Amino acid sequence: MPEQKINKIVFATHNAHKLSEIREIVKGQIEILGLTDIGCHDEIEETGNTLEENALLKAKYVKERYGYDCFADDTGLEVDALGGEPGVYSSRYAGPSGDPEENMKKLLSALQGIDNRSAQFRAIIALILNEEEHLFEGVIRGTIARERRGGSGFGYDPIFVPEGYDQTFAEVDLSVKNRVSHRALAMAKLIDFLLNGKKILSLGR
């Protein structure tokens, strides 16, 4: 558990959406600094072969170069009928440009004629605190729709239908997504650890 109360920690991301999401959750309890706030403008390359490796390498990059305790996340969409693909390669599934429309197009054609549409989003958060590494996982199960639906969200949201819902992540209210998503679940475990020292809910669902 954290040895002393944490007042401030770095989230190794340039993504303003992710920063405001977590700042809203920990408001008044922990100050969250983004990469820009610590003067880091680098695009940290994700060269790992797993989500865990990528999350850790981003957190280590910041710790080693900037000296801050830090956490970083990495997410993959894992489709059962495709043996867990695109997984760690989700952002560049259809090519290096990372175009979400092309990624969805490729995934829908890979699943053409396949009835098993089961999939999950899996997020890993790696935390480096007091020289120790901790991993937190968030998983949301669901299915891949047969066509795109909805205009909100990002990435694969228009084709992912979370379990228990009929609408895609791009159709549901953002407050619903922020409550049930892979990232929200992993963040909840991280925050519980940072605030209460509890790690009962780390890796695993």
- Give me the least distance between CB of 157 and ligand IMP, in Å please: 4
Annotated active-site residue in 74, 80, 157, 192: 74
Of all residues in this chain, which one has the CB nearest to ligand IMP in the complex? 155
Choice between 69 and 73, CB closer to ligand IMP: 73
- Rounded to whole angstroms, the Cα distance separating 43 from 175 reads 29
Task: Answer yes or no: 74 catalytic.
Answer: yes
Token pair recorded at residue 138: 């968030």
Contact between residue 65 and residue 44 where contact means Cβ atoms under 8 Å apart? no
Residue 181 and residue 140: Cα distance in Å, rounded? 6
Q: Between the CA of residue 173 and those of 109, 177, 180, 184, what are the distances in Å?
A: 28, 7, 11, 14
Residue 59 or 77 having the CB closest to ligand IMP = 77
- Residue 181 C-beta: closest distance to ligand IMP, Å: 5
Q: Which residues bind ligand IMP (CB under 6 A)?
A: 73-75, 77, 90-91, 100, 153-157, 169, 181
C-beta of 3 vs 43, nearer to ligand IMP: 43
- Alpha carbon 52 to its chain centroid, in Å, reads 11
Residue among 33 and 125 whose Cβ is closer to ligand IMP: 125
Q: How far is the CB of 100 from ligand IMP (least distance, A)?
A: 6
| Strands 86-87 and 31-33, sheet pairing | unpaired
Tokens of 198: 């509890």
CB of 7 to ligand IMP, least distance (A): 26
**Sole residue written with tokens 């997504």:** 177
Which residue carries 């977590």 as its tokens?
A: 22
Tell me which residues are annotated as active site: 74
